[in-house]
Amino acid sequence: MPPEVALACRAVVKRYADVVAVDGLDLQVFRGECFGLLGPNGAGKTTTIEMLEGLLTPDAGEVEVLGQRWADAGAALRPRLGIQLQETQLADKLSVRETLRLFRSFYPSGRSVPELLALVGLESKAEAWVGKLSGGQRQRLSVACALAGSPDVLFLDEPTTGLDPQSRLQLWDVLRRFKDGGGTIVLTTHYMDEAATLCDRIGVVDRGKLIALGTPEALVQSLGTAHVVEVSFEGGTPPAGEWFTTLPGVVEGRVADGVVTLGSSAIHETIPAVLAALAAAGAAVQELRTHSATLEDVFVALTGRHLRDG
Amino acid sequence: MADRHASTFLASLRELTLARIREFLREPEAVFWVFGFPVIMTIALGIAFRSRTDEPVIVAVERAAGAEAVRAALEAATGFVVRDVPATGVERALRDGVVQVVIVPGTPATYRYDPARADSQVARLAVDRALQQAAGRRDAFTPREDAVRAVGSRYIDWLVPGLLGMNIMGTGMWSTSFAIVTARTRKLLKRFAATPMPRAAYLASLIGSRLAFLVLEGVVLVAFAWLSFDVVVHGSLAALAVVSLLGALAFGGIALLVASRAKTVEGVSGLLNLVMLPMWVFSGVFFASSNFPETMQPFVQALPLTALNDALRGVMNDGQTLASLWRELALLAGWGGVSFVAALRLFRWS
């Protein structure tokens, strides 16, 4: 039996004044999975997620949520979704408990305020004003507000941006528990480790298009290179030419900002060969680094840009 | 299903209203402006316009031949304060209101005064009477006088309902529209719109919370005017409460409309001034709106603050009943209702 589709985009287009934010995007998210939209700033992640949330209307194409369209069933869909937006600032002078009571009152059914407090570990902060919370606590409160109506689908737009590692781990915990309870999650992020840890499947978006889709493992494997070697040079300039393409183990390579980056399938052969070639060329190596291929490398290989460059 | 909708609506309305009241009460400056400002205003105006009894007429006599005689005539009559003004300072003294009339001695004497100012006109008449009498004129008859100093017929009695009306408008418009624009810039409106929150409940909560504050600020103002200036309410307090409530509803609705699309506090401030300025001028807060020409009256009478002030004065000064004020009350309800519906349609949630 194929998995049940929770969310679907078909050839969706969204334009702003002079930019095409989403350019013919096709996407499916299945029930019970955690789906990550990965991409640099301005790639169209937020626009895509807001069309799924029914906050934006696509200029072309179709969006389907839980088998229904926003135009036909908006009022019925709304209570089934939990939404956390990137830029919301909750009222500073309401307490955590008051804020949750407020959001809970919007839903015909859902979790109680004490349950929500326990869910995100904010029991001890229940009476504190929102303005006095740390960034991580505020973000957990924001997610708790999104969970107030016991949603089937939870949307999170860059939930951990700007958080310290401890807060990120706490928030990940909350999301895992939601998923364990059968919930579907769609999140955008530009942290590859977050996507790799949380997501069952990942869609990489760039310039409004889906350029890769799959499980984190499958995406990394699709690179065909298990390792990445990066070399920088004293004086900043690498030896000219494509001297690295024929070295043993090298699958692909490129030069950007004075750094040579090589994808290698056999690191133990590549590194001695690189050093020998550079010695022969008389180049002075400043730094040589190597790491296992990650989603970041997938993104760089696909777009030539780093995730956080924007 | 319908019951469920209704209960979600009521629960949302209650929580949104409570949230708004809490936020307001936790903002000390806002509390001061809403409650302190009308009291300060009443004190200031009460002092400025207190019932004057035997206020002297302030006169200047230019230094010239015959000045001494004029001075002596005025000092012989009562009720004049004579100031010495050098010839070069006459224009300025008149303009600044330091003196009300300037007498240039001569045959005949010249009165310099500003006919656009009531006090200047009165001073001219008083000076003329004193000088004519000193020159030998005799009155044809001596009238009997009946000075009105009874409570209820002073300027302050007329002013306080106007201040109450202005306050209902001002605090309602500012606090409601600022709350909306702040929530919009903080993306809180967008966040609310992403929930099943009934949108009308949000707008209604802003008006509802206003009513809660209104009770307090109205009571503060009316009680203060009563205790310090003996301003009394001739009609029923219940009628006064109903008129105030309806006024608050009307201006709440208008505030929703004004703030329905504004994206910044600066933008909404400009709009608010644009909307309120004509009412400060035309709606009879400090002087009667009937002073404006006949051709302008349809416009003046259609303004919600005119209706509110008329109704408040009807109850406070004339003891009118709600039934006899139905026109004003209907106009207020109309402004509130139409604005609310228009705001709900135009409202920008993101």
Of A85, A107, A108, the CB nearest to B190: A85
The CATH number of residue A285's host domain is 3.30.70.100
Q: Is residue A154 part of a domain?
A: yes
Same domain, B70 and B42: no
Q: Is residue B141 part of a domain?
A: no
Whole-number percent of chain B with pLDDT over 90: 46
d(CA B131, CA B133): 5
Of B15, B190, B197, the CB nearest to A55: B190
pLDDT at B91 over 70: yes
Same domain, B297 and B335: yes
Task: Give the model's pLDDT for residue B13.
Answer: 95
**Which chain A residue lies closest to B3 (C-alpha atoms)?**
A108
How close A88 comes to chain B (CA, Å)?
5
| Confidence category of residue B53, pLDDT binned at 50, 70, 90 | low
| Cβ contact A91–B11 (<8 Å) | no
| Cβ contact B15–A105 (<8 Å) | yes
Q: Is residue B140 part of a domain?
A: no
Quick one: three-class SS letters along chain A?
CCCCEEEEEEEEEEEECCEEEEEEEEEEEECCCEEEEECCCCCCHHHHHHHHCCCCCCCEEEEEECCECHHHHHHHHHHHEEEECCCCCCCCCCEHHHHHHHHHHCCCCCCCHHHHHHHCCCHHHCCCEHHHCCHHHHHHHHHHHHHCCCCCEEEEECCCCCCCHHHHHHHHHHHHHHHHCCCEEEEEECCHHHHHHHCCEEEEEECCEEEEEECHHHHHHHCCCCEEEEEEECCCCCCCCCCCCCCCCEEEEEEECCEEEEEECCHHHHHHHHHHHHHHHCCCEEEEEEEECCHHHHHHHHHCCCHHHC
Q: Is residue A187 part of a domain?
A: yes
**Residues of B in Cβ contact (< 8 Å) with A49:** none
Q: Is residue B288 part of a domain?
A: yes
Of the CA atoms within 13 Å of residue A86, those in its CB half-sphere come to: 14
Which residue range forms the structural domain that includes residue B101? 57-134
Same domain, A212 and A229: no
Where among A199, A220, A241 does a domain terminate? Answer: A220
Same domain, A248 and A184: no
Averages of pLDDT over runs of 10 residues in chain A (310 residues) are: 85 90 92 91 89 93 93 91 92 96 95 94 95 92 94 93 86 92 92 89 90 89 82 82 82 82 86 86 85 83 66
Give me the number of domains chain B comprises. Answer: 2
Same domain, A161 and A199: yes
Residue B117, helix vs strand vs coil: coil
Q: Is residue B144 part of a domain?
A: no
How close A108 comes to chain B (CA, Å)?
6
Same domain, A108 and A255: no
Q: Is residue B325 part of a domain?
A: yes
| Cβ contact A106–B8 (<8 Å) | yes
Same domain, A34 and A160: yes
Where among A158, A189, A220 does a domain terminate? Answer: A220
Where among B76, B109, B134 does a domain terminate? Answer: B134
| Cβ contact A91–B23 (<8 Å) | yes
Same domain, B338 and B251: yes
Which residue range forms the structural domain that includes residue A234? 224-292
User: Strand B57-62 vs strand A285-292: parallel, antiparallel, or unpaired?
Assistant: unpaired
Q: Is residue A306 part of a domain?
A: no
| Cβ contact A107–B350 (<8 Å) | no
d(CA B69, CA B105): 9
B interface with A, Cβ–Cβ < 8 A, is 4-5, 7-8, 11-12, 14-16, 18-19, 22-23, 26-27, 183, 186-188, 190-197, 350
**Which chain B residue lies closest to A106 (C-alpha atoms)?**
B197
**Which chain B residue lies closest to A84 (C-alpha atoms)?**
B191
Count of CB atoms situated within 10 Å of the CB of B45? 18
Task: Give the model's pLDDT for residue B150.
Answer: 62
Same domain, A247 and A118: no
Its ipTM equals: 0.86
Query: What does each C-alpha distance from B222 to B39, B42, B163, B237 come to in angstroms?
Result: 9, 10, 10, 10
Same domain, A121 and A257: no
pLDDT at B97 over 50: yes
Of the two residues B332 and B145, the one the predictor is more confident about is B332
| pLDDT 10s digits, B60-75 | 888 878 888 888 888 8
| Cβ contact B15–A101 (<8 Å) | yes
Same domain, B200 and B282: yes
The H or E element that residue B56 is part of is: none
Q: Six-digit token pair at B64?
A: 């010239």
**Residues of B in Cβ contact (< 8 Å) with A145:** 191
Q: Is residue A148 part of a domain?
A: yes
pLDDT at B149 over 70: no
d(CA B102, CA B63): 11
| Cβ contact B15–A102 (<8 Å) | yes
pLDDT at B30 over 80: no
d(CA B108, CA B106): 5
Same domain, A145 and A191: yes
Which residues 6+ apart lie within 8 Å of B114 measured at CB? B94, B95, B120
Give me the number of domains chain A comprises. Answer: 2
Where among B91, B109, B134 does a domain terminate? Answer: B134
Q: Is residue B143 part of a domain?
A: no
Task: Give the model's pLDDT for residue A310.
Answer: 43
Of B7, B23, B197, the CB nearest to A94: B23
| Cβ contact B187–A105 (<8 Å) | no
Task: Give the model's pLDDT for residue B202.
Answer: 95
Task: Give the model's pLDDT for residue B148.
Answer: 61
In this structure, are residues A244 and A275 in contact, taking their beta carbons and an 8 Å threshold?
A: no
Where among A220, A253, A270 does a domain terminate? Answer: A220
Q: Is residue A298 part of a domain?
A: no
| Cβ contact A105–B191 (<8 Å) | no
**Which has the closest alpha carbon to A64: A32, A37, A27, A33?**
A27
**Residues of B in Cβ contact (< 8 Å) with A101:** 15
Same domain, B250 and B128: no
Count of CB atoms situated within 10 Å of the CB of A67? 12
Mutate to test the interface with A, among B195, B202, B205 (most CBs of A within 10 A): B195
Same domain, B268 and B129: no
Query: What does each C-alpha distance from B270 to B184, B258, B304 come to in angstroms?
Result: 17, 10, 19
**Residues of B in Cβ contact (< 8 Å) with A81:** 194
DSSP letter at B55 equals: P
How close B252 comes to chain A (CA, Å)?
21
As a whole number, the mean pLDDT across chain B is: 87
In this structure, are residues A284 and A233 in contact, taking their beta carbons and an 8 Å threshold?
A: yes
pTM attached to this predicted model:
0.81
Of B7, B188, B194, the CB nearest to A55: B194
Task: Give the model's pLDDT for residue B58.
Answer: 85
Same domain, B129 and B256: no
| Cβ contact A53–B194 (<8 Å) | yes
Q: Is residue A44 part of a domain?
A: yes
Same domain, B43 and B86: no
Same domain, A158 and A247: no
Same domain, A235 and A150: no
Q: Is residue B214 part of a domain?
A: yes
Same domain, B171 and B275: yes
Q: Spell out the alpha helix ranges (H) of B186-295.
A: 188-193, 199-229, 237-258, 265-282
Q: Is residue B216 part of a domain?
A: yes
In this structure, are residues A64 and A11 in contact, taking their beta carbons and an 8 Å threshold?
A: no
The H or E element that residue B88 is part of is: none
Same domain, B197 and B64: no
Same domain, B72 and B188: no
Q: What is the dihedral of CA A169, A171, A174, A175, to 10 degrees?
A: -100
Task: Give the model's pLDDT for residue B121.
Answer: 87
Mutate to test the interface with B, among A87, A90, A106, A143 (most CBs of B within 10 A): A106
Of B12, B14, B19, the CB nearest to A91: B19
Where among B106, B134, B162 does a domain terminate? Answer: B134
Q: Six-digit token pair at A92?
A: 């500073």
| Cβ contact B8–A105 (<8 Å) | yes
pLDDT at B50 over 90: no
Same domain, A195 and A253: no
The CATH number of residue A155's host domain is 3.40.50.300
Q: Is residue A259 part of a domain?
A: yes
Count of CB atoms situated within 10 Å of the CB of A72? 9
**Radius of gyration for chain A, computed over Cα atoms and rounded to the nearest angstrom:** 23
Of B183, B187, B197, the CB nearest to A87: B187
Q: Spell out the alpha helix ranges (H) of B26-117.
A: 28-31, 37-48, 67-76, 90-95
Same domain, A251 and A281: yes
Which burial class, exposed, middle or buried, applies to A254 when counting CB atoms under 10 A from its CB (0-12, 13-18, 19+)? middle
**Residues of B in Cβ contact (< 8 Å) with A129:** 26
d(CA A242, CA A175): 46
Q: Taking residues B256-280, report their average pLDDT.
A: 94
Mutate to test the interface with B, among A102, A109, A153 (most CBs of B within 10 A): A102
d(CA A5, CA A66): 7
| Cβ contact A94–B191 (<8 Å) | no
pLDDT at B136 over 80: yes
In this structure, are residues B242 and B218 in contact, taking their beta carbons and an 8 Å threshold?
A: no
Q: Six-digit token pair at B288?
A: 């009667």
Same domain, B322 and B236: yes
Q: Where is average pLDDT lowest: B34-43, B226-235, B314-323, B330-339?
A: B34-43
